[in-house]
Amino acid sequence: MPRLLVRRPSPRLAEGELTHLERAQVDPDLALAQWDQYVDAFRARGWDVLEVDPADEHADGVFIEDAAIVFGDLAVIARSGAPSRRGETATARAAIEAAGIPAVAIEEPGTLDGGDVLKIGRTVYVGQTLRTNAAAIAQLQGLLAPRGWEVVAVPVTRRLHLKSSVTALPDGTVIGYPDAVDDPAAFPTFLAVPEEHGTAVVVLDERTVLMSSDAPETADLFRARGLEVLTTPITEFEKQEGCVTCLSVRLRD
């Protein structure tokens, strides 16, 4: 059974870090309701949902993906380029280790957010961003190369994270909204999507993806490629530069 780590949103969500968006009004009650819908989508597909201890003092704590990345039987604990977020990792690490996955941490001077890491097969694309630096990418290379992973650095300047710009379909096709992608040629295959909120999908299985309900044309594009597409509203998280990948850590890869 695939497993999923999540953390419920803080009532202080609206106070979270912003880089590329103007601050907008966030409804914490609606955010919690949307988070519940997101989690229920996984439960309905047979996922075992593991809830990390709340961290209400951390406005961005719901974006649990940034705290840790799982590579099969190894978890890498991130060290965010935003100092305000570094306190989020302790409870994430505890939950991962409780799930039976050993963990190692990125060390100073490295900085890494999980949202900058895109795994496709045994290739790990890592965004070079305001949150993730060359020192962390080098550490990641040292950790993963002996385990058979290839690490590829990708420049990202147009969005907060690499996975705010691109994600991948089950067949490995990288998808992105053209204005959000620095260099589509960095990827072996690239499919442009017609809506900005269509850039992010969570792969549930080899034929099913979960994505924001705010990209209906993109959903139709994926269905035309033979995929089953589940959609969920995440407007309150999108206001905070979040997407469907940010809200969970998958423990199956």
Q: Are strands 208-212 and 228-232 parallel, antiparallel or unpaired?
A: parallel
Separation of alpha carbons 226 and 118, rounded Å: 23
Contact 163, 126 (CB under 8 A): no
Separation of alpha carbons 75 and 97, rounded Å: 9
Catalytic positions, written as ranges: 161, 246
Q: Is 242 exposed, middle or buried (0-12, 13-18, 19+ CB in 10 A)?
A: buried
Separation of alpha carbons 101 and 146, rounded Å: 18
